[in-house]
Structure 1
């Protein structure tokens, strides 16, 4: 007799809560971008969602909350405080206008396939905000044509977009580094698949262009995953050979382990080793890291406000494109 196919059980919010060691309410707050969840707990829940492949059910959420005004927020893999700042800004505008949000982290191909198969997530929503993902290519064909969409950190030929000029940010960093009489290195993340953002490439391109204009060049580029362990190893390799150098990291998240390794090897950060990050995350302010500051909070607020206006019919003209400018913030590193 032919074997019957075993039905695959759907992962539930309870499964996520048990895996993360938190309550169901905490998982719900994370999915709803509630600001009253500390960063460590939020990351535990997001890691559990990624590990289990959990796909939120917007219909179930509506029934449980009694709310009808729902905005879906799609992000790539969430690292550091960037997304907490961005999502807080988005939610501030949504809540003020009577909307709530459903967070869908697009971590990998499995989550992407789940998004395509679970049409409820994109069809049963009043609007969509997509961060760091090329909507025109990745989500082509399964977004309701009538659903307003705003893209963050990515241009679009079809939808409104709010971006930071990352290339210009790289130019600012390159102009700053060009006067340093020392070897220049870059530690960055290389896009490995279509679900990842292109912002790191744009920052590197601007940095490289600026140096070349001033007769300088990058001595070496180190590509790392977005994790501290790999960056620690790269930093040890650099400082085992170079005791005097300038390092540009395309995000503050990668600057932190480099500074830590330099200090443990008794190098003077800011003198022997110059470090500049990108973003101006809270950790950069605490550790006084020189960085290229991007207006993260403003980006989130503008995107959410633009989406609400589209939903309410207050904007009827063709697609709008907002380009925000970053700025250099020189601190002790």
Structure 2
């Protein structure tokens, strides 16, 4: 059976013969709507069975002072740090961020299929997703948008040079005469960005330049237990190994499994993560530092300028990662 299409505010406006703004004012009980028009619109809403999006209902004349930030999912500290950078800029101008993680197919479908999604926001920040495809049909031409961790062809982008970061990790781990393994995230949808692929490709290029090869690549979900079990496989198969964890979120369980079985970093194995999260410092994990808070801060600054009407061709800002040597 074909899934019934969700009724949108545009459908109501079309059937009622009024603008989308008029329907929104009726929904929000704005006094500046003629009684006859209000009654007509409410009747159409009832006939179509339209259910207003709570987020979109916050639409009003002028700026809503709301910015929507879309994440593929929120796992670990990374997104908290990124959001703190975004919010630090938005709060200076009295803006609030509405966070929407796409951790399920229903959430993906809502964003892809509902034009109501963007009505109650002054701007969008989209992280680690192909924004050019995700919202192509529903972003108004004048909607301020900034892409983070994905180089957009249509909007301003802020990202880290992940390929170079992978090369830094390869330059480090290729120095050790050990079998080389990679634990990385498995891309779960066409709309996800390619940050993990870029890190892995940079890493492989680096070690191959030094005449080395990767013994095995493990692609897993962003799941702590899967990373822990992957470490078990690696350490069971190799007496001496060097492991590149394409995110610190994978490096933590690798180090924990090694501790459980009595293996010592920098003696029995070497490990390099990627992100430089707080726990990496606490656990003394060698990692690739990416300026996460700065990335969010720059994205917030750019979006605010666009909201205020600053117009120019889309540009891409690329930040450089660095190797942080510790005890792994």
TM-score of the aligned structures, taking structure 2 as reference length: 0.81
Deviations for 1:7-43, whole angstroms, at most 9, x for unmatched residues? x9xxxxxxxxxxxxxxxxxxxxxxxxxxxxxxxxxxx
1:312 to 291, 308, 315: 308
Query: Which residue of the other structure, out of 81, 105, 108, is the alignment partner of 2:104?
Result: 108
Corresponding residue for residue 117 of structure 1 = 113
Contact 1:86 1:296 in 2 (8 A): yes
Q: Does 1:222 align with 2:218?
A: yes
**1:222–1:116 Cα change, 3 Å:** closer
Contact 2:150-2:157 at 8 Å conserved across structures: yes
Aligned to 2:38: none
Q: Could you say which residue in structure 1 is the equivalent of 2:163?
A: 167
Matches for 1:192-207 after TM superposition, within 5 Å: 192-207=188-203
Q: Verify the 8 A CA contact 1:57 1:120 in the aligned structure 2.
A: no
Q: Distance in 2 between matches of 1:295 and 1:84?
A: 13
CA distance in 1, matches of 2:143, 2:57: 20
How many corresponding residue pairs? 276
Structure possessing the higher radius of gyration over alpha carbons: 2
Aligned equivalent of 1:258: 254
**Paired residue for 2:321?**
326
Residue 56 of structure 1 deviates from its aligned partner by 6.9
Deviations 1:196-249 (A, max 9, x none): 332111100000011111111111111111111111111111112212110000
Secondary structure class of the residue paired with 1:274: strand
Task: Please state whether the residue corresponding to 1:143 is helix, strand or coil.
Answer: coil
In the alignment, structure 1 segments of 5+ residues that lack a partner are 1-7, 9-54
CA contact (8 A) 1:108 1:195 kept: no
Which whole-Å CA distance do the structure 1 matches of 2:165 and 2:148 have between them? Answer: 17
In structure 1, the partner of 2:45 is none
Other-structure match for 1:19? none
| Pairs within 5 Å for 1:179-328 | 179-313=175-309, 315-328=310-323
d(CA) in 2 for partners of 1:238 and 1:96? 48
Deviation at 1:59, TM superposition (A): 3.6
Judge which range, 117-126 or 236-245, deviates more.
117-126
Q: Residue 185 of structure 1 contacts residue 221 of structure 1 at CA under 8 Å; is this kept in 2?
A: yes
1:51 match = none
Tell which deviates more after alignment, 237-246 or 114-123. Answer: 114-123
In 1, distance between residues paired with 2:291 and 2:325? Answer: 16
Residue 71 of structure 1 contacts residue 126 of structure 1 at CA under 8 Å; is this kept in 2?
A: yes
- In the alignment, is the contact (CA less than 8 A) between 1:73 and 1:103 conserved in 2? yes
Q: Which runs of 5+ in 2 are unaligned?
A: 1-5, 7-51
Q: Distance in 1 between matches of 2:228 and 2:210?
A: 30
| CA–CA distance in structure 1, aligned partners of residues 53 and 272 of structure 2 | 38
Deviation at 1:316, TM superposition (A): 2.3
TM-score (normalised: structure 1): 0.79
Structure 1 position 129 matched with structure 2 position 125: yes
Query: What is the match of residue 15 of structure 1?
Result: none
Among 142, 150, 157, the alignment partner of 1:154 is: 150
Q: Do structure 1's residue 89 and structure 2's residue 85 form an aligned pair?
A: yes
Whole-angstrom CA distance in 1 between matches of 2:302 and 2:214: 39
Segments of 4+ moved more than 6 angstroms:
none
Q: Is the 8 A contact 1:252 1:284 kept in 2?
A: yes
